[in-house]
């Protein structure tokens, strides 16, 4: 994925074509391209560790970059120095997710990608004394442009918020002991990110297929951080809505072409996301369903299948934005679940995948975590990796066919 003149010229031609197609589409009076025309459910994958690397799922990549035992992007930039870090991250951005990956995603009957990004991809929002890699925006533009060319719907996810929204997590880009997101200053930086991305979506033809903008991924739980969660629900959530909609109004965006604005669903545990919103038209809710970490589910074959078959996550405005076919840590290497050097359990994993797909398609659809990873825990851990699970024969090559394999 190198930016030569031929690549840039091709993208410019495609962008002009998309602009014309957009005019024709709206002139036809059809439903907005802010959703999936002709598609009944979202079926997708996360492009995880592309713009926020999580070392637990990309260990070989992390080591090859020279990040060693650094626990997050912040500490790797500190370790390498800004200029050297920018260079190694550029190589990562060029090779982790490529146009070939996106074509393969499309070939498997998937229609959506969720792209986790940090607020720092807009470098104007980074404060002095913060350590994040620079130069990722042109690679985001390139990936999004390829998604648009292929007809893949894009959920743009503010995965790493200013100050870090959850303690101890690599997905924030900066592992902290106490979350710093929940301040007026950091809400403002997040809102500026949302305004900036909204304008990009509505003015850059390469972003034509970006139809949903998530205001923050996995904030704190109300049970652990009650004041922070309550403040986010009452302050940041409605301000995020207003800033996105006001920017769309300034740009003259038609009502039918507005972005879906996505919040973590109430099941996440931060509170009712819509209680203080000034509106809910084109609101969407992100539910993360990992049976692996649900202690109420018996860690047995029958327990997992039964839980999936009986699950109901909500209406069509709910999308299960993260899930996997991994099982509880203390069970994953048992004889009935082990996948190391054996395919003896593959048929059960096929059923577990299909049971979850059937459950999640009772709602708005699903986005698997993740498309790609490498050698988690030292082996090919395809329970987290869609591409590898397809290669293993566990996930079908036609995503829409999975429901028919469900044991429910």
Q: Indicate which CATH number applies to the domain containing 124.
A: 3.20.20.80
151 within some domain: yes
Cβ-contact 388, 382 below 8 angstroms: yes
Cβ-contact 260, 222 below 8 angstroms: no
365 within some domain: no
342 within some domain: no
Where residue 106 falls (left for φ over 0; alpha for ψ -120 to 50; beta otherwise) is: alpha
372 within some domain: no
Could you tell me the sign of the dihedral formed by the alpha carbons of 261, 138, 102, 28, in that order?
positive
As a whole number of angstroms, the distance between CA 226 and CA 393 comes to: 44
Residue 7 has a pLDDT of 38
One of 54, 73, 149, 218 is an active-site residue; which one? 218
Residue 40 has a pLDDT of 77
89 within some domain: yes
Cβ-contact 173, 164 below 8 angstroms: yes
As a whole number of angstroms, the distance between CA 84 and CA 270 comes to: 38
Count other Cβ atoms within 10 Å, centred on residue 195. 18
Q: How many residues does the chain have?
A: 408
As a whole number of angstroms, the distance between CA 365 and CA 319 comes to: 5
- Give which of 194, 284, 204 is closest to 245, Cα–Cα: 194
Rounded to 5 degrees, φ, ψ at 359 are -65, -45
One of 149, 248, 322, 381 is an active-site residue; which one? 322
Residue 32 has a pLDDT of 53
Query: What are the tens digits of pLDDT across the range 214-270?
Result: 999 999 999 999 999 999 999 999 999 999 999 999 999 999 899 999 999 999 999
336 within some domain: no
Count other Cβ atoms within 10 Å, centred on residue 83. 8
Strand 283-288 with 42-46, pairing = unpaired
48 within some domain: yes
260's CB contacts (< 8 A; 6+ apart) are 34, 35, 211, 212, 213, 282, 283, 284
121's CB contacts (< 8 A; 6+ apart) are 51, 136, 137, 140
Strands (E) in 332-389, as ranges, are 365-368
Residue-range definition of the domain harbouring residue 175 = 33-288
Q: What is the pTM of this model?
A: 0.92
- The owner of tokens 């003149």 is 5
As a whole number of angstroms, the distance between CA 207 and CA 107 comes to: 21
Instruction: Report the SS3 class of residue 359.
Output: helix
Cβ-contact 305, 358 below 8 angstroms: no
Q: Virtual CA dihedral for 294, 298, 302, 304, nearest 10 degrees?
A: 10
Where residue 148 falls (left for φ over 0; alpha for ψ -120 to 50; beta otherwise) is: alpha
Helical segments of 42-97, H only: 59-64, 73-80, 82-95
Residue 13 has a pLDDT of 43
Is 228 catalytic? The answer is no
Where residue 164 falls (left for φ over 0; alpha for ψ -120 to 50; beta otherwise) is: left
Q: Count the domains in the chain.
A: 1
β-sheet bridge partners, residue 367: 44
As a whole number of angstroms, the distance between CA 62 and CA 76 comes to: 9
Is 218 catalytic? The answer is yes
376 within some domain: no
As a whole number of angstroms, the distance between CA 94 and CA 87 comes to: 11
As a whole number of angstroms, the distance between CA 245 and CA 270 comes to: 23
- Which residue positions in the chain have pLDDT lower than 50? 1-31
């Amino acid at each position: 994925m190198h930016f030569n003149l031929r690549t840039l010229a091709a993208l410019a031609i495609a962008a002009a074509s998309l602009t014309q197609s957009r005019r024709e589409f709206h002139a036809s009076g059809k439903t907005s391209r802010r959703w999936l025309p002709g598609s009944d459910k979202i079926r997708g994958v996360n492009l995880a560790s592309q713009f926020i690397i999580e070392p637990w799922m990309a260990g070989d990549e992390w080591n090859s970059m020279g990040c060693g035992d650094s626990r997050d992007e912040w500490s790797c930039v500190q370790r390498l120095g800004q200029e050297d870090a920018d260079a190694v991250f550029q190589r990562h951005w060029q090779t982790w997710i490529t146009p070939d990956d996106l074509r393969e995603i499309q070939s498997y009957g998937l229609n959506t990608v969720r792209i986790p990004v940090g607020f720092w991809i807009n470098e104007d929002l980074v404060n002095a004394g913060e350590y994040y890699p620079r130069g990722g925006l042109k690679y985001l533009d390139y990936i999004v442009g390829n998604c648009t060319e292929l007809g893949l719907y894009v959920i743009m996810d503010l995965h790493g918020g200013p100050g870090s929204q959850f303690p101890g997590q690599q997905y924030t880009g900066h592992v902290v002991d106490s979350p710093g997101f929940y301040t007026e200053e950091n809400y403002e930086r997040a809102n500026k990110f949302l305004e900036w991305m909204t304008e990009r979506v509505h003015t850059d033809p390469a972003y034509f297929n970006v139809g949903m903008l998530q205001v923050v991924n996995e904030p704190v739980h109300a049970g652990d951080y009650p004041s922070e969660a309550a403040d986010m629900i009452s302050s940041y959530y409605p301000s995020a809505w207003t800033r996105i909609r006001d920017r769309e109004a300034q740009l003259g965006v038609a009502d039918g072409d507005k972005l879906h604005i996505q919040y973590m669903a109430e099941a996440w545990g931060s509170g009712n996301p819509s209680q203080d919103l000034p509106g809910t038209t084109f609101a969407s809710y992100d539910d993360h369903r990992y049976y692996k970490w649900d202690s109420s589910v018996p860690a047995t074959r029958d327990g997992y299948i039964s839980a999936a078959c009986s699950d109901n996550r909500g209406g069509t405005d709910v999308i299960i934005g993260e899930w996997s076919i991994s099982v509880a840590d203390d069970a994953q290497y048992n004889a009935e679940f082990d996948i190391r050097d054996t395919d003896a359990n593959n048929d059960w994993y096929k059923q577990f995948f299909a049971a979850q797909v059937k459950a999640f398609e009772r709602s708005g659809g699903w986005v698997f975590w993740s498309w790609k990873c490498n050698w988690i825990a030292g082996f090919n851990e395809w329970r987290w990796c869609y591409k590898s699970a397809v290669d293993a024969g566990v996930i079908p090559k036609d995503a829409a066919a999975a429901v028919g394999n469900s044991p429910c």
